[in-house]
């Protein structure tokens, strides 16, 4: 360029960088300290960051236009490598051309892989604004609280924790699960973790996560369901392994006398239709036939099998308990939802 980028307004700079191929930005950030530091002022948006923890850690950054992969590895020809600096540390980088997406290998013969990865974290997160974070654990004995991922990450709007496969819970220590639930600052938290069988986690009545809006739990054997609704967040989803009707009853008994201001949806999954035991689910809870038609549940994709309405005691708020697919849903009829189906007159000011 015939002019200094620094002289342009920050918004214009961001637009210019957004037009550059993301793999080029990744590469240039390792070649020029000046370029990397200037990126830190701009903070480029990235849709998703995937971290695969193995013996050779991998990183993936997803943008609107493409995906870039980075692997810590020594398995490439020395003549292909180029010197680079990552977090001020000399390393080598090589671009692999036979991949569908841009793919880089990074190495340092004098440094262990986990240390290389830690420097990669510090380097890339110094100039990338990550929206969503996904962790795939493929090795044992990870010290979660001291993991380099959390040492350098900013506040993500979506944190996901996955095991080797999405359907398989990851075995962790109790302190790891506590760390994830109580320390990760995020709007949406998806976890599929499995602490030891004798560990039970209870949400305290004063539990507060101001930024948390959505919690999704895969394996829930560690959860004390009677304390789950101490959380007042927008959406809670749990996959149930045992006693689904009894756990659903605990949820309803907490909601009816509660004063939840934010809660709109509780989704309990993994019911078989034979497990929809009305007597157990509504034990101690007054229910009535739903006043809402099936087509008013506009977000439900599967056919509705049964539905009932219940009332919150302190303000009369209605909620529907709906059996749909393999799920039992507590669907709270907020003013916004009532207006959407024409059951509340809009307020004009």
pLDDT digits (tens, 9 = 90+) for 63-104: 888 899 999 986 655 667 889 999 889 999 998 876 778 899
pLDDT > 70 in the chain, percent: 88
Mean pLDDT of 323-328: 90
- 38 confidence band (pLDDT: 50, 70, 90): confident
Please answer whether residues 292 and 305 qualify as being in contact, where contact means their C-beta atoms are separated by less than 8 angstroms: no
Structure-token pair, residue 190:
């998806």
Summarised one tens digit per residue, pLDDT across range 183-214 is 887 888 888 999 999 999 999 988 888 889 99
pTM as predicted? 0.82
Residues 6+ apart with CB under 8 A from 314: 257, 259
- 168 confidence band (pLDDT: 50, 70, 90): confident
pLDDT > 90 in the chain, percent: 42
Residue 84: what pLDDT?
92
- 349 confidence band (pLDDT: 50, 70, 90): very low
Residue 163: what pLDDT?
55
Please answer whether residues 174 and 199 qualify as being in contact, where contact means their C-beta atoms are separated by less than 8 angstroms: yes
As beta bridge partners, residue 240 has none
Cα 26 from Cα 69, distance rounded (Å)? 10
Mean pLDDT of 41-45: 85
* 28-35: Cβ within 8 A, 24+ apart: 29/123, 29/124, 29/127, 30/84, 30/85, 30/86, 30/91, 30/93, 30/123, 31/82, 31/84, 31/85, 33/85, 33/88
Q: Find where tokens 């078989």 sit.
A: 272
Residues 6+ apart with CB under 8 A from 284: 249, 253
Residue 348: what pLDDT?
39
Residue 325: what pLDDT?
86
DSSP letter at 303 equals P
Residue 325 three-state SS: coil
Cα 107 from Cα 71, distance rounded (Å)? 9
- CA nearest 116: which of 151, 84, 140, 86? 86
- CA nearest 343: which of 309, 299, 292? 292
- 1 confidence band (pLDDT: 50, 70, 90): very low
- CA nearest 323: which of 300, 346, 343, 342? 300
Cα 275 from Cα 244, distance rounded (Å)? 7
- 126 confidence band (pLDDT: 50, 70, 90): confident
Summarised one tens digit per residue, pLDDT across range 269-309 is 988 766 678 899 999 999 999 999 998 987 777 888 899 99
Helix H or strand E segment including 30? helix 22-31
pLDDT(5) > 90: no
pLDDT(335) > 60: yes
- Which of 44-58, 130-144, 244-258 has the least mean pLDDT? 130-144
Cα 192 from Cα 269, distance rounded (Å)? 14
- Which of 54-58, 67-71, 117-121 has the least mean pLDDT? 54-58
- CA nearest 23: which of 53, 67, 59, 56? 67
Mean pLDDT of 224-249: 93
pLDDT(228) > 70: yes
């Amino acid at each position: 360029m015939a002019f200094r980028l620094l002289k342009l307004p920050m918004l214009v700079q961001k637009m210019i960088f957004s037009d550059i191929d993301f793999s080029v930005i990744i590469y240039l950030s390792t070649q020029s300290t000046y370029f990397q530091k200037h990126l830190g002022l701009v903070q480029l948006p990235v849709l998703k960051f995937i971290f695969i923890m193995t013996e050779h850690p991998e990183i993936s950054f997803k943008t609107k236009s493409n995906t870039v992969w980075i692997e810590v590895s020594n398995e490439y020809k020395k003549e292909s490598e180029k010197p680079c600096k990552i977090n001020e540390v000399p390393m080598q980088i090589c671009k692999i051309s036979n991949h569908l997406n841009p793919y880089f290998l990074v190495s340092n013969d004098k440094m262990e892989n986990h240390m290389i990865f830690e420097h990669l974290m510090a380097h890339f997160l110094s100039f990338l604004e990550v929206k969503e974070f996904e962790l795939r654990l493929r090795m044992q004995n990870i010290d979660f609280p001291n993991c380099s991922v959390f040492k350098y990450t900013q506040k993500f709007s979506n944190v996901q924790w996955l095991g080797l496969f999405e359907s398989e819970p990851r075995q962790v220590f109790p302190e790891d699960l506590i760390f994830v639930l109580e320390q990760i600052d995020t709007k949406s938290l998806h976890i599929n973790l499995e602490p030891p069988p004798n560990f039970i986690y209870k949400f305290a009545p004063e539990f507060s996560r101001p930024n948390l809006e959505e919690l999704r739990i895969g394996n829930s054997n560690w959860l004390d369901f009677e304390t789950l609704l101490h959380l007042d967040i927008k959406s809670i989803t749990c996959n149930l392994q045992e006693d689904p009707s009894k756990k659903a009853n605990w949820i309803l008994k907490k909601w009816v006398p509660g004063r939840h201001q934010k809660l709109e949806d509780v989704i309990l999954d993994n019911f078989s239709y034979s497990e929809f035991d009305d007597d157990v689910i509504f034990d101690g809870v007054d229910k009535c036939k739903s006043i809402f038609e099936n087509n008013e549940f506009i977000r439900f994709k599967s056919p509705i099998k049964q539905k009932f309405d219940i009332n919150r005691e302190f303000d009369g708020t209605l909620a529907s308990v709906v059996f749909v697919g393999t799920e039992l849903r507590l669907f709270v009829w907020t003013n916004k939802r009532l207006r959407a189906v024409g059951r509340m007159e809009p307020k004009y000011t």
